[in-house]
Amino acid sequence: MIIQNFLNSLSLNIFSQSSLTVEIIHYSAIFLINFVSYLYIFIKFYKVLCYSKMTFEWLPMINPYVWPFSLFQVLTGPYFLFWSKIFPSVRFESSSLEISGIIALEALNSLLYFCVRITHSLILLLEKTETSITNTF
């Protein structure tokens, strides 16, 4: 919404003054869309790894120290350790509750949301530059 208002407030005179500026903005937006798209795919894959690790921790018959399951610990261990240092477990009288795993997964969901929003804003920017490029030729 903010980006859309910003793009609507831009005057096309700025874009039409220099075709080089428009092309630089256009190709930069294409590069950023590709980068954010690959970041989105990586975060989705990492989210699946995190969910798998948490699921395997709940199953008592799975040994997390053998080959296929140790891979999940190696890949996602530092990420969950980071969040457990920020949010230590909440202690009650005789038990404790660890909420850092839930917050870690929600952080990944938030990153996915921001990737989608950034991509949407970049597509709007691409549409503006595309119309400016076609108007100059």
pLDDT category at 6 given cuts 50, 70, 90 is low
Instruction: Domain count for the chain, please give it.
Output: 1
For residue 13, what pLDDT is reported?
A: 47
Q: What is the 3-state secondary structure (H, E, C) of the chain?
A: CHHHHHHHHCCHHHHHHCHHHHHHHHHHHHHHHHHHHHHHHHHHHHHHHHHHHHHHHHCCCCCCCCHHHHHHHHHHHHHHHHHHHHCCCEECCCCEECCHHHHHHHHHHHHHHHHHHHHHHHHHHHHHHHHHHHHHC
| Residues 52-100 pLDDT 10s | 888 888 887 877 778 888 888 888 889 988 988 888 777 887 888 888 8
Name the percent of the chain lying above pLDDT 90: 22
| Containing structural domain, residue 58 | 2-136
| Residues 11-32 pLDDT 10s | 444 555 577 777 788 788 889 9
Q: Are 29 and 130 in contact (CB under 8 A)?
A: no
pLDDT at 115 over 70: yes
State the average pLDDT for the chain.
81
Question: Higher model confidence: residue 51 or residue 91?
Answer: 51
pLDDT category at 128 given cuts 50, 70, 90 is confident
- Dihedral sign computed on CA atoms, order 17, 23, 29, 33: positive
Q: Please give the Cα distance from 19 to 31 (Å, whole number).
A: 18
Reported residue count of the chain is: 137
For residue 12, what pLDDT is reported?
A: 45
